[in-house]
Structure 1
Amino acid sequence: MQDAFDSLYRTITHRVENPIDGSYTCYLFGKGLDKILKKVGEEAAETIIAAKNADHKQLIDEIGDLIYHVEILMAFKGVTPEEIRTELLHRAHKSGNLKPEHQTDKDT
């Protein structure tokens, strides 16, 4: 996943630095943060719906779309894959971190 994640991020930043006519990435950057956030929200909702359905391929497609749009957001806000990787590794080493509000209602 690291290679695909990094490769996509590099492609996004390259596209922004070297715009191509008709590029969806450039379009999103040109529209700004509100449009990017709207797309992240839409893709998150579509991923949730796909997860409820029985179509495994659709779920994979929607997760791919969500990751792409999250990486657009990351690039727009200057967050690098390395920063996310570091945060995830930090979290992987934590244990016993169930928040008190979830200890009373484990269904949420």
Structure 2
Amino acid sequence: MSFTLSDLEARVAARAEASPEESWTARLLAAGPSRAAKKFGEEAIEFVIAAAEGDGKQIVGEAADVLYHLLVALKARDVALAAVMAELEQRTALSGLAEKAARTRA
């Protein structure tokens, strides 16, 4: 499969330009960053429940919802996926435990 998070980010950006009457993405963004963040939170909770209790198909569906709504919430705050990926790349220079310890000291 060649569909990437960058492809999804581009699709979110394109749909953001549509009318809120025609696009769920545009509707969420028109409602403001707080609404986009709350929707992401709802989807994250649904994923947690599916991961704890659901089957593979349900987990996949909820994970897809989480990724989509994360990118919408980032778009609502004009944060590029590239910035998030750069942060992750920087963090991988250390072990997870060392990286976490460095964050708690800062």
Query: Under TM normalisation by the shorter chain, which class is it?
Result: 0.7 to 0.9
Distance in 2, Cα, partners of 1:33 & 1:84? 17
AA matched with 2:8: L
Which of these two proteins has the greater Rg computed from alpha carbons? 1
Within the candidate set 99, 102, 108, 2:101 is matched to 99
- TM-score with structure 1 length normalisation? 0.81
Aligned residues: 99
Deviates more, 1:77-86 or 1:43-52: 77-86
CA separation of 1:54/1:73 partners in 2, compared to 1, >3 Å: closer, same or farther? closer
1:29 counterpart residue number = 29
Tell me, which stretches of 5 or more residues in structure 1 are unaligned?
A: 101-108
Unaligned residue ranges in structure 2 (runs of 5+): none
Q: Measure, in 1, the Cα distance between the counterparts of 2:54 and 2:71.
A: 27
For normalisation by structure 2, the TM-score amounts to 0.82
The offset of 1:33, in angstroms, is 1.5
Give the corresponding residue for 1:104.
none
Instruction: Give 1:44-83 correspondences, 5 Å limit.
Output: 44-83=44-83
Letter of the 2:37 partner, please give it: L
Deviation beyond 3 Å, 4+ runs, structure 1: none
The 1:35/1:2 distance shift into structure 2, 3 A limit, reads farther
Looking at structure 2, the residues matched to 52 and 3 of structure 1 have their Cα atoms a distance apart, in angstroms, of 27
Counterpart of 2:11 in structure 1: which amino acid?
T
Correspondence for 1:15: 15
